[in-house]
């Protein structure tokens, strides 16, 4: 088993050392052939920090680019590495110590497994005091129609929770460098057309949310989701009957996000759209109730529901995030 860890860094001096140290601390470190970090045009102290760390960590290599963007930076990292398994880690996230030890053996279950992923922890505070385990939908090599299932439900599979088989990337291609938001989902959909996914339960990576995250608000992603839906229906016409179900889930998730930010009118509009697109989908009805009740009560109900929902899914059979 030969693992290449690829990382990207753009002005992440505050976080990138923690990310790299979490790779070095892996219980499966002996299987890591290389750690390649692409510093994509950082203007803070990232370059000096990375240079210092490279003198301490034998596996660590640094490639410096001039601001080509995340998809192109990841592609450069993939091309520069040689492992048959490629683990992605963003420069502001970090891993649990047993992440690779838990995930990588899953590739031995089926030679057509091209992507292995896990649950994750969402957090903003450095001390993890607001950490929220997120249990994601479970796909496996026995999922009958990988493409249709992922097209509708979309995980969410976050890049830092992913390990990829290089042979799968050789077959379907790398990240689309013309896409600046949703490039990971686009690639994963292409993988789902030909390869199988495997979920490994447990929150094995920590995803940091902060003001510079491109995806900190879900409403910015709705146009991206709509374009992605159209793109893959054009590629796979059999997905056309599932397009409304896919978008209903995005409207529901976004409506819930708007409600949590106090944007009640916008939340209600989006949730009604979700219900119209897929009347049998139960989640927007729950979100609508939470949006309509007084905010103090909705906050209590939401926290209680999340605690029960995520604990149950992480400890038993994860399927999707609330």
Return phi, psi of residue 278, to 5°: -145, 85
Q: What is the dihedral of CA 175, 181, 182, 186, to 10 degrees?
A: -40
Tens digit of pLDDT per residue, the chain (322 long)? 799 999 999 999 999 999 999 999 999 999 999 999 999 999 999 999 999 999 999 999 999 999 999 999 999 999 999 999 999 999 999 999 999 999 999 999 999 999 999 999 999 999 999 999 999 999 999 999 999 999 999 878 999 999 999 999 999 999 999 998 899 999 999 999 999 999 999 999 999 987 655 445 677 889 999 999 999 999 999 999 999 999 999 999 999 999 988 899 999 999 999 999 999 999 999 999 888 887 666 666 666 666 555 544 444 443 333 3
pLDDT at 60: 98
Could you identify the residue written with the tokens 């929220």? 132
Tokens of 236: 């796979």
pTM: 0.89
- Distance (Å, rounded) from C-alpha 164 to C-alpha 145? 19
pLDDT at 154: 83
Give the DSSP H or E segment for 284. Answer: helix 283-292
Give the DSSP H or E segment for 116. Answer: strand 113-123
- Distance (Å, rounded) from C-alpha 239 to C-alpha 152? 9
Burial environment of residue 74 by CB neighbours within 10 A (0 to 12, 13 to 18, 19 or more): buried
- Distance (Å, rounded) from C-alpha 60 to C-alpha 51? 9
pLDDT at 155: 74
Could you identify the residue written with the tokens 């048959």? 84
Instruction: Name the 3-class secondary structure at 34.
Output: strand
What are the residues whose beta carbons fall under 8 Å from the beta carbon of 236, sequence distance 6 or more? Answer: 147, 193
Nearest to 219 by CA among 275, 258, 260: 258
- Distance (Å, rounded) from C-alpha 248 to C-alpha 276? 8
Tokens of 223: 């146009």
Instruction: Name the 3-class secondary structure at 231.
Output: helix
Cα 236 vs. chain centroid, distance in angstroms?
Answer: 23
């Amino acid at each position: 088993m030969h693992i290449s860890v690829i990382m990207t860094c753009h002005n992440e001096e505050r976080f990138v050392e923690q990310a790299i140290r979490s790779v070095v601390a892996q219980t499966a470190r002996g299987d890591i052939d290389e750690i390649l970090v692409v510093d994509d045009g950082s203007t803070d102290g990232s370059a000096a920090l990375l240079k210092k760390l490279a003198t301490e960590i034998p596996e660590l290599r640094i490639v410096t680019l001039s601001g080509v963007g995340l998809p192109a930076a990841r592609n450069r990292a993939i091309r520069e590495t040689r492992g048959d398994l490629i683990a992605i880690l963003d420069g502001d996230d970090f891993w649990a110590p047993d992440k690779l030890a838990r995930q990588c053996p899953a590739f031995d279950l089926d030679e057509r497994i091209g992507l292995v992923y896990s649950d994750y922890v969402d957090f903003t505070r450095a001390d993890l005091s607001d950490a929220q385990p997120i249990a994601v939908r479970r796909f496996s090599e026995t999922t009958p129609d990988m493409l249709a299932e992922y097209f509708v439900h979309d995980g969410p599979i976050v890049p830092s929770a992913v390990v990829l088989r290089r042979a799968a990337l050789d077959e379907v291609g790398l990240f689309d460098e013309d896409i600046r938001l949703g490039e990971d989902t686009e690639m994963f959909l292409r993988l789902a057309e030909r390869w199988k996914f495997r979920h490994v339960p447990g929150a094995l990576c920590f995803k940091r949310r902060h003001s510079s995250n491109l995806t900190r608000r879900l409403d910015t992603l709705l146009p991206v989701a709509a374009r992605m839906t159209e793109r893959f229906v054009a590629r796979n016409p059999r997905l056309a009957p599932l397009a409304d179900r896919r978008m209903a889930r995005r409207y529901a998730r976004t409506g819930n996000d708007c409600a949590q930010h106090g944007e009640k009118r916008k939340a209600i509009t989006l949730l009604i759209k979700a219900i119209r697109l897929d009347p049998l989908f139960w989640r927007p009805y729950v979100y609508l109730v939470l949006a309509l009740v007084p905010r103090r009560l909705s906050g209590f109900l939401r926290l209680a529901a999340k605690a029960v929902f995520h604990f149950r899914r992480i400890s038993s059979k994860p399927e999707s995030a609330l």
